[in-house]
Amino acid sequence: MSRTRVRDLLKSNGEDVVLRGWLYNRRSSKKFHFLLLRDGSGIVQCIVTRAEMDEEAFLEIGKIPYESSIEIHGKANADERSPGGVEVHATKVEVISEAEEYPISKQEHGPDFLLSNRHLWLRSKKQVAVMHIRNEVLRAIRDDMYEQGFQCIDAPIFTPNSCEGTSTLFEVDYFDDDKAYLTQSGQLYMEAAAMAFGDVYCLGPTFRAEKSKTRRHLTEFWMFEPEMAFADLDDVMNLAESMLCKITTRVIENCKEDLEVLERDVDILKKITGPFPRLSYSEAVERLNAEGHAFEWGGDLGAKDEAIISSWFDTPVMVHRYPQEVKAFYMKRDPEDSKVALGVDVLAPEGYGEIIGGGQREDSLETLLGRIHEHELDPEDFAWYLDLRRYGSVPHGGFGLGVERTVCWLAGIEHVRECVPFPRMLYRIYP
């Protein structure tokens, strides 16, 4: 008899089924065992009745250690009161592999213990819910890009130079005394690809050797980076806005149970419909000062400033036109005000901070060369990138969306480390 997945059980109402999975929990009384079986697709309650079973077998079932892998034979019964709307009347329980004493119990554990046991922690209800949401976010992005005719162009991971400044590069040996760096962003390659395909994106791991120990920083994180030819800052903001709305809608629609497990307030997410407020950096600074938070024009916004700005709104807010000094060499300056760069950061509500950074790129060869010198970068390293301004340069732009930060906000959890299957952080690379 072929096995049934827990998520499909309802379709087998009244039928004999075989389930395979792991023993998640058990409650026992004199006459019954209530076993919770999880199989990755869901969790179902299976009822074992003493009167219907061999006495010895009944007692053995009461001793099966948690997380043992088991096979259960029984009959599926639709029942509105049980979670998932169905339970199983078990007639036979077989142990496939008996587990040793499981290190994660139902009581509270510290984060270090859980992170060191990430390979097991991933089985927990809450972690499963977060990974479901991550999966939906990634799918929503890819589906939308496909529908809008963006080409997926994968960016390389080994790169010969930096994109987001040299201070956060991971260096690796690359044959014959050469050095390579793990990519900080696929952007420069997406700019080349946009000149070949028009609208493109990449979606993959990126790396930052940041010595930051905050709830928002990973050393390896995933980034979605669309790039458009013939686009200005407004086009970039429009795409960021529509993408965030679509992702949120998809998560609300397809991750109902997961949001419930996480006790996420869905009404807050339902407000993410757009349009989002667009605030220039100067306007933001003015309002900060007006509200008594002293902030000098010219500096980068810190996490605290971002939290205050986002508290003004129920939706993400787009802060644009930052002082050019705080932004990367490739950002185009505003022709109307050369002190500011045509960049945008999108700040998530509820204090989750920056989830998107992007903008319009410098498209003039001379100006870009000037920036490269100002930032004390070697023009030789950027010869190919400069070529894009030599052969048919066009206004263009895009952004990078941090996948873990976006999932963290949507799932309403505390720390990005729970938003990636195996987090890499300062002082943490195991398991």
- Interaction site with ligand 4AD (CB under 6 A): 163-164, 185, 187, 208, 210, 217-218, 221, 223, 225, 354-358, 398-400, 402, 404-405, 416
By CB atoms closer than 10 A (0-12, 13-18, 19+), residue 157 is: middle
- Supply the DSSP string of 248-260, one letter for each residue: HHHHHHH-HHHHH
Torsion of CA 124, 129, 133, 136, to 10 degrees: 90
Nearest to 45 by CA among 53, 35, 54: 35
Which residue of the chain is nearest ligand 4AD when measured via CB? 402
Cβ closest to Mg ion, residue 35 vs residue 236: 236
Residue 393 beta carbon to ligand 4AD: minimum distance, rounded to whole angstroms: 18
Count the alpha carbons within 13 Å of 361 in the hemisphere toward its beta carbon.
30
What is the spatial distance between Cα 315 and Cα 241, in angstroms, rounded to a whole number? 10
Strand partners, 36: 25, 45
Q: Are the C-beta atoms of 322 and 345 separated by less than 8 Å? A: yes
Residue 362 beta carbon to ligand 4AD: minimum distance, rounded to whole angstroms: 13
Q: Are the C-beta atoms of 347 and 316 separated by less than 8 Å? A: yes
Cβ closest to ligand 4AD, residue 162 vs residue 393: 162
* Binding partner at 356 among ligand 4AD, Mg ion, none, C-beta below 5 to 8 Å by kind: ligand 4AD
**What is the footprint of Mg ion within residues 324-363 (CB under 5 A)?**
357
Cβ closest to ligand 4AD, residue 87 vs residue 362: 362
* Binding partner at 400 among Mg ion, ligand 4AD, none, C-beta below 5 to 8 Å by kind: ligand 4AD
Task: State the DSSP code for 326.
Answer: G
**What is the footprint of Mg ion within residues 222-281 (CB under 5 A)?**
none
Residue 168 beta carbon to ligand 4AD: minimum distance, rounded to whole angstroms: 8
CA–chain centroid gap for 118, Å, is 17
Cβ closest to ligand 4AD, residue 74 vs residue 357: 357
Residue 425 beta carbon to ligand 4AD: minimum distance, rounded to whole angstroms: 9
Cβ closest to Mg ion, residue 155 vs residue 346: 346
Cβ closest to Mg ion, residue 38 vs residue 361: 361
Q: Are the C-beta atoms of 409 and 350 separated by less than 8 Å? A: yes
Residues lying near Mg ion in the complex (CB under 5 A) are found at 357
